[in-house]
Homo-oligomer: A and B are copies of this chain.
């Protein structure tokens, strides 16, 4: 089980239909059960979930705020479909934000948090040795690592934006293309170097390494999928 999934969100008990719908639809979109680009029919979904349209519409409006759906007045809502360009744009944001998060993590992470991060890294290493770049590592494991560092920044606004908004889009994209961080060895080495910098409390280096890490992933994606958008 991933560390990303049982997040603050999922743990909450949804005391209202609207909340429940929001999280169910969010998961459905991320996992591709609601296909990217597909239309969201209010009557159909309302029937399917056995609820009225009012709470459903509010849930959709929240998903709109999270950029998981787009809606046009009097036309309806569609699940977003990320183009390559958009993924690259998001990657620039990630580079900036996670670079900053990593710098702050080097400064503010507790020793316990650093220990937990190192443990996570060791798990990934085992996993990698066993099954060279297999599902766990590729799909969620990588995000677990980033998730952990972002938490270490102790900056709630940063945590919220990255973990509760941007990562959903990235996960959605990864589920869709089931292609992912296809350079496990390099990635692992880079992760290791980042943790070292954090442990040494070298914020400058930690930020620089994280930015290179994300930038490299972006360039890798750009060249692999550059032709067929």
Contacts and interface: CB of A to CB of B under 8 A. Distances in A.
Contacts of A19: 73
Grouping DSSP codes into helix (H, G, I), strand (E, B) and loop, the A interface class, with mixed when no group exceeds half, is helix
Interface string A56-83: 0110011011100000011000000000
B73 A65 contact: no
A96 interface: yes
A155 B156 CA distance: 25
Contact of A66 (B15, B65, B93): B65
Q: How many copies does the complex hold?
A: 2
A97 interface: yes
B89 A155 contact: yes
Given A61-B61, A96-B100, A86 B16 contact: no
Contacts of A57: 58
Contact of A89 (B66, B99, B156): B156
Given A62-B65, A66-B65, A74 B157 contact: no
Contacts of A99: 96
A58 B157 CA distance: 24
Contacts of A156: 86, 89
Contacts of A158: 89, 92-93
